[in-house]
Amino acid sequence: MGTASNPYRGFRFLAEIISEAVWLYHCFSFSLRKVELILATRGIEVSYKTIREWGLRFGRDFANTLRRRPPKPGDKWFLDEVFIRIRGKKHYLWRAIDQNWVVLDIPVQSRRNTKGAMRFFRKLLKGLHYAPRVVITDKLKTYAAAKRGMRLGNEDRQSQYLNNRCEVLHQLTRRRERHMQRFKSAQQAQQFLSSHSPVHNDFQLHRHLISSSEHRAARARTFTVWREVTGLAQVS
């Protein structure tokens, strides 16, 4: 890779250190200070503020590249929403995942009405040449109203329990929110979640569903993809 195309050009630390710091921060529920401590145990002295800048600078680029790599989303979607407070004001974090646990989108909006649900659907369907076969939601009426408004004829299942997988991911977001001492703005929340979800999602292999050999092979492929996405395969 030439210096003109090297995203790490001008940085004092090696590409391996920067990419690992971003990986640790987004793949696990570590705070910035914990990532700083982990790197310090390896003899790497770097401030948590620098790690935060790396996350902002590279996390979004890595996430966008990962988002373009997976195959098209599955045909069974699970939708859910949860409220978060930002400076005392209630916002709503919408989440969509498919049957393979791939996070399709995670927008932050100020409303939970039909207009917000329609905006959510439009963003999910953008660039797709098909509609999902099944959409599973909770009993929030705005989903049904939004589907009627957009004339989506797919099967709709409403249940409090069928989309528990979304609830599991909501809990992980809550944990990160506590580490960050709450989001400071809707823009910050959206920026973090848009970077965090693809990176974290890519390394969640659900090993209880596959054999040990399949898990090792899948993990090796995931790390190979990560090296390609972060540019380590070219700069090494």
Whether 115 contacts 121, CB under 8 Å: no
Q: Is 121 helix (H, G, I), strand (E, B) or coil?
A: helix
pLDDT of 3 above 60 = no
Q: Is residue 136 within 8 Å of 163, Cβ to Cβ?
A: yes
Confidence of residue 70 (pLDDT cuts 50, 70, 90): low
**Average pLDDT of the segment spanning 189-204:** 87
Work out the average pLDDT over 57-72. Answer: 85
Q: What is the pLDDT of residue 71?
A: 67
Higher-confidence position of 124 and 128: 124
Residue 190: DSSP 8-state: H
Mind listing the pLDDT tens digit for each residue in 214-235? 989 989 999 999 999 998 877 6
pLDDT in tens, 197-206: 888 888 887 7
- pLDDT given for residue 205 in this prediction: 78
pLDDT category of residue 170 using cuts at 50, 70 and 90? confident
Rounded distance between C-alpha atoms, residue 96 and residue 78, angstroms: 6
Query: What's the whole-model pTM score?
Result: 0.81
1 pLDDT band, cuts 50/70/90, is: very low
Query: Average of pLDDT values for 93-98?
Result: 92
Mean per-residue pLDDT, 187-212: 85
Which position has the token pair 């609830």? Answer: 167
For the cut 90, the answer to whether the pLDDT of residue 145 exceeds it is no
Domains in the chain with CATH codes: 3-69+205-235 (no CATH), 76-188 (3.30.420.10)
Q: Residue 144 has what pLDDT?
A: 83
Q: In this model, does residue 92 exceed pLDDT 90?
A: yes
Confidence bin at 153 (pLDDT 50/70/90): low
How high is the pLDDT of residue 206?
Answer: 76
pLDDT of residue 20: 95
Alpha helices in the chain (DSSP H): 15-27, 32-41, 48-54, 60-68, 114-125, 141-150, 164-179, 186-202, 212-230, 232-235
Confidence (pLDDT) at 164: 82
